[in-house]
Amino acid sequence: MEVEIKEDELLLRIEKALYSEEVLHKCFYWYSGNFAVDISNFSAQLFLVRMRPTSKTQTFQETIDKVRRDLIDFKLRDIVTKETKTVRELIVAKAFAYYNLNETPITVISDPVGFDPAKVKASG
Protein backbone atom coordinates (compact mmCIF):
# COMPACT_ATOMS: atom_id res chain seq x y z
CA MET A 1 0.00 0.00 0.00
CA GLU A 2 1.38 3.37 -1.01
CA VAL A 3 0.45 6.27 1.26
CA GLU A 4 0.44 9.97 0.47
CA ILE A 5 -0.56 12.55 3.04
CA LYS A 6 -1.72 15.92 1.79
CA GLU A 7 -2.89 18.85 3.89
CA ASP A 8 -6.51 17.86 4.11
CA GLU A 9 -6.65 14.34 2.68
CA LEU A 10 -5.09 10.91 2.78
CA LEU A 11 -4.40 9.08 -0.48
CA LEU A 12 -3.92 5.31 -0.45
CA ARG A 13 -2.87 3.32 -3.50
CA ILE A 14 -3.81 -0.30 -2.90
CA GLU A 15 -2.80 -3.24 -5.07
CA LYS A 16 -5.64 -4.92 -6.94
CA ALA A 17 -3.77 -8.23 -6.81
CA LEU A 18 -4.02 -8.22 -2.99
CA TYR A 19 -7.48 -6.77 -2.33
CA SER A 20 -10.67 -7.00 -4.34
CA GLU A 21 -12.93 -4.01 -4.81
CA GLU A 22 -15.54 -5.73 -2.61
CA VAL A 23 -13.04 -6.02 0.24
CA LEU A 24 -12.18 -2.33 -0.09
CA HIS A 25 -15.82 -1.27 0.01
CA LYS A 26 -16.53 -3.45 3.05
CA CYS A 27 -13.46 -2.12 4.83
CA PHE A 28 -13.83 1.58 4.06
CA TYR A 29 -17.57 1.64 4.75
CA TRP A 30 -16.66 1.74 8.45
CA TYR A 31 -14.64 4.93 7.92
CA SER A 32 -17.55 6.84 6.40
CA GLY A 33 -18.57 8.26 9.77
CA ASN A 34 -15.33 10.20 10.11
CA PHE A 35 -14.17 10.49 6.50
CA ALA A 36 -15.50 11.18 3.04
CA VAL A 37 -14.17 8.13 1.20
CA ASP A 38 -13.79 7.75 -2.57
CA ILE A 39 -12.59 4.49 -4.13
CA SER A 40 -11.52 4.53 -7.77
CA ASN A 41 -9.29 2.77 -10.27
CA PHE A 42 -5.90 4.46 -10.31
CA SER A 43 -4.27 2.13 -12.81
CA ALA A 44 -4.51 -1.44 -14.04
CA GLN A 45 -2.71 -2.57 -10.88
CA LEU A 46 -3.88 -0.08 -8.24
CA PHE A 47 -7.00 1.28 -6.58
CA LEU A 48 -6.95 4.83 -5.29
CA VAL A 49 -8.69 5.49 -1.98
CA ARG A 50 -9.11 9.17 -1.16
CA MET A 51 -10.04 9.95 2.45
CA ARG A 52 -10.99 13.46 3.58
CA PRO A 53 -11.75 13.85 7.30
CA THR A 54 -15.12 15.27 8.28
CA SER A 55 -13.65 16.22 11.67
CA LYS A 56 -10.22 16.23 13.33
CA THR A 57 -10.77 13.21 15.59
CA GLN A 58 -7.75 11.13 14.51
CA THR A 59 -4.34 11.78 13.07
CA PHE A 60 -3.60 10.43 9.63
CA GLN A 61 -0.95 8.10 11.07
CA GLU A 62 -3.52 6.50 13.42
CA THR A 63 -5.85 6.11 10.46
CA ILE A 64 -3.15 4.50 8.29
CA ASP A 65 -2.36 1.97 11.02
CA LYS A 66 -6.05 1.16 11.45
CA VAL A 67 -6.57 0.82 7.68
CA ARG A 68 -3.71 -1.70 7.48
CA ARG A 69 -5.30 -3.82 10.23
CA ASP A 70 -8.80 -3.54 8.78
CA LEU A 71 -7.70 -4.48 5.27
CA ILE A 72 -6.16 -7.68 6.63
CA ASP A 73 -9.30 -8.35 8.67
CA PHE A 74 -11.68 -7.93 5.72
CA LYS A 75 -9.38 -9.90 3.39
CA LEU A 76 -9.41 -12.79 5.89
CA ARG A 77 -13.21 -12.58 6.15
CA ASP A 78 -13.40 -12.78 2.36
CA ILE A 79 -11.11 -15.84 2.28
CA VAL A 80 -13.12 -17.63 4.98
CA THR A 81 -16.41 -16.82 3.23
CA LYS A 82 -15.15 -18.28 -0.04
CA GLU A 83 -13.65 -21.36 1.61
CA THR A 84 -16.81 -22.17 3.58
CA LYS A 85 -19.32 -21.39 0.82
CA THR A 86 -20.00 -25.05 -0.04
CA VAL A 87 -20.44 -26.06 3.60
CA ARG A 88 -22.88 -23.18 4.21
CA GLU A 89 -24.87 -24.10 1.09
CA LEU A 90 -25.08 -27.73 2.25
CA ILE A 91 -26.29 -26.68 5.70
CA VAL A 92 -29.00 -24.47 4.22
CA ALA A 93 -30.03 -27.18 1.74
CA LYS A 94 -30.26 -29.71 4.56
CA ALA A 95 -32.28 -27.32 6.70
CA PHE A 96 -34.86 -26.79 3.96
CA ALA A 97 -34.86 -30.30 2.49
CA TYR A 98 -38.27 -31.91 2.10
CA TYR A 99 -38.77 -35.14 3.95
CA ASN A 100 -41.87 -37.20 3.31
CA LEU A 101 -42.65 -38.60 6.72
CA ASN A 102 -45.67 -40.89 6.75
CA GLU A 103 -45.31 -41.90 10.34
CA THR A 104 -47.70 -41.51 13.18
CA PRO A 105 -46.17 -39.97 16.28
CA ILE A 106 -45.32 -42.53 18.96
CA THR A 107 -46.31 -40.21 21.81
CA VAL A 108 -49.74 -40.23 23.38
CA ILE A 109 -51.76 -37.12 22.61
CA SER A 110 -54.30 -36.08 25.17
CA ASP A 111 -56.58 -33.12 25.54
CA PRO A 112 -58.45 -32.14 28.71
CA VAL A 113 -61.56 -31.04 26.74
CA GLY A 114 -61.99 -34.43 25.03
CA PHE A 115 -60.53 -33.72 21.58
CA ASP A 116 -59.36 -36.96 19.91
CA PRO A 117 -56.89 -36.23 17.08
CA ALA A 118 -57.14 -39.84 15.86
CA LYS A 119 -60.74 -39.19 14.76
CA VAL A 120 -59.83 -36.22 12.58
CA LYS A 121 -59.94 -37.06 8.87
CA ALA A 122 -57.13 -35.80 6.69
CA SER A 123 -58.28 -33.36 4.03
CA GLY A 124 -57.17 -33.71 0.51
Phi and psi for 97 in degrees, rounded to 5? Answer: -65, 145
Question: Is there a domain that residue 117 lies in?
Answer: no
Question: Is there a domain that residue 104 lies in?
Answer: no
Question: Is there a domain that residue 111 lies in?
Answer: no
Question: Is there a domain that residue 37 lies in?
Answer: yes
Question: Is there a domain that residue 17 lies in?
Answer: yes
Residue range(s) defining the domain that contains residue 17? 2-95
The answer to pTM > 0.85 is no
Instruction: Identify the CATH number of the domain in which residue 51 sits.
Output: 3.30.70
Q: How many percent of the chain have pLDDT more than 90?
A: 62
Task: Give alpha helix (H) positions in the chain.
Answer: 21-29, 60-83, 85-95
* Mean pLDDT value of segment 27-36: 94
d(CA 106, CA 25): 54
* Mean pLDDT value of segment 59-82: 94
**Number of structural domains the chain divides into:** 1
Helix (H, G, I), strand (E, B) or coil at 74: helix
Q: What pLDDT is stored for residue 109 in this prediction?
A: 64
- Please count the other Cβ atoms lying within 10 Å of the Cβ belonging to residue 82: 9
